[in-house]
Structure 1
Amino acid sequence: MPDAEGHPDLDEMELGAVLSALADPLRRRVVGDLLRCQAGHERTCVSFNLPVSKASLTHHFRVLREAGLIRQENRGNSRAATLRRHDLESRFPGLLALVAADLSRD
């Protein structure tokens, strides 16, 4: 069962949900930006400068969080996102390498 913030446990992460989340180019961009950061690095949602409204930004990060791609923590009046690298690599070995390779082609 996902925690109170909507983060699924490792064994609850589903490939279909992860692939669906990654199907959107803006969400792939967020994951790619986090891949380029050191493990554990936090970024606020607005720091990604996505060309969408605040409501759409909230939606994109909710999809990423509920799929298990990111972990979000409240930081006062904002939320910080980190990539769940270890969990993703454990559950879906090689997936992040494929995402990184795809993003490097663009």
Structure 2
Amino acid sequence: MTDANEELPPVAPLPTVLAALQDPVRLEMVRRLSNAGAAVRCGALYEVINKSTATHHFKILREAGVVERLTVEGQTCQRLRAADLDAALPGVLPSIVDAANRAYSADLH
């Protein structure tokens, strides 16, 4: 069972979305969500920060309209609002995620 925990804010203006994505931790969260293509349990989206810091990052992403929080089988998850972002800011999310994926791949080599 999946249910949204809150009403979704509109996608923020471009400068706000870019500001939310400029932080490396938040960018990695969005990269993982985009690559998953589905809701992901919160704890699977970060490794090097504590839970309260992750909560802060999720809040910034939610307020910018980038992600939504929901409950899936009793677990708190995040889901990328890809369709909403593409409608409000066409092409921005795929471009950013593609660049983040290239940077991630380069870091592995």
- TM-score scaled to structure 1, two decimals? 0.81
Q: 1:96 aligns with which of 78, 93, 109?
A: 93
Query: How far 1:75 moved relative to its partner?
Result: 4.8
Counterparts of 1:30-69 in structure 2, within 5 Å, are 30-38=29-37, 41-69=38-66
CA 1:27–1:6: 2 relative to 1, 3 Å = farther
Identity across the alignment (%): 31
Paired with 2:67 and 2:57, the residues of 1 have a C-alpha distance of 11
Equivalent pairs, count: 99
CA 1:77–1:52: 2 relative to 1, 3 Å = farther
5+ residue gaps, structure 1: none
Contact kept, 8 Å, 2:39 with 2:78, in 1: the verdict is yes
Paired with 1:95 and 1:46, the residues of 2 have a C-alpha distance of 26
* Shift >4 Å, 4+ stretches: 75-78
Query: How far 1:33 moved relative to its partner?
Result: 0.7
Paired with 1:98 and 1:58, the residues of 2 have a C-alpha distance of 26
- TM-score scaled to structure 2, two decimals? 0.79
RMSD: 1.9
